[in-house]
Amino acid sequence: MSEIKKYPVQVAEQHLYLHPFRCIYWQEHEALLIADLHLGKARHFRRSGIAVPLAVADANLDKLISVIWDFQPKRVLFLGDLFHSEFNRQWMEFCELLDQFSGVSFELIAGNHDILDPSFYEQAGLKVHLNGLQLKPFLLTHHPLEDFSGDEGYNLAGHIHPGVRLHGNGRQRLKLPCFFFGRHQGLLPAFGEFTGLATLPVGPDDAVFVIVEDEVVRMS
């Protein structure tokens, strides 16, 4: 199997590597940035009677293990919506995964779906940031900041699950996840497999990197 390629970019004079598993490695801080895993979502829906394959849940954990082994980060920063909803068995599977990487600092920038009791995060050894995290030159949040001028740095966020729609010959249409970098803000795609996409308008100054199978491709 050929090695999965990472796409190097510079944002706010920092060196980032965009991974086709929908995450970013930040070289200067040796940090892995991951947004919107929505762990437990498949089991949540199955408990409600919707037959979502459990392979979806397993794929998310397998991808997480893969990128941690690949980059060997000192920190893993989850940009919100780590766990989808109420407690279910996948939380225990996630905690077992964290135990395999005791030398890594795992931190959560809380999102709207992160509703577990604080004791769960404490037992997992997760450091939780309730109001974002400033790591200059980046301001890391779950929701993109509104009316953000860039005075506090460059905002990297999740929540939106950004995607773009590509048009081919005839009536061909294809929607793909993407990394989206504007003038003052960047959006990470959702890491989770069962999350959906929100298509975004692309302006002339925006940089968009589309994920096509196991490759990151610059679109604009």
**Domain range annotation of the chain:** 7-218
74 — pLDDT class (breaks 50, 70, 90): very high
47 — pLDDT class (breaks 50, 70, 90): low
SS3 assignment for 174-213: EEEEEEEECCCEEECCCCCCCCCCEECCCCCCCEEEEEEC
More confident of the two residues 99 and 47: 99
- Look at the block and give the residue holding tokens 């509703």: 115
pLDDT at 45: 47
Q: What is the mean pLDDT of the chain?
A: 88
pLDDT at 157 over 90: yes
**What mean pLDDT comes out for the span 197-203?**
90
pLDDT at 179: 98
165 — pLDDT class (breaks 50, 70, 90): confident
Q: How far apart are CA 139 and CA 70, in angstroms?
A: 25
Which class does domain 7-218 fall in? alpha beta
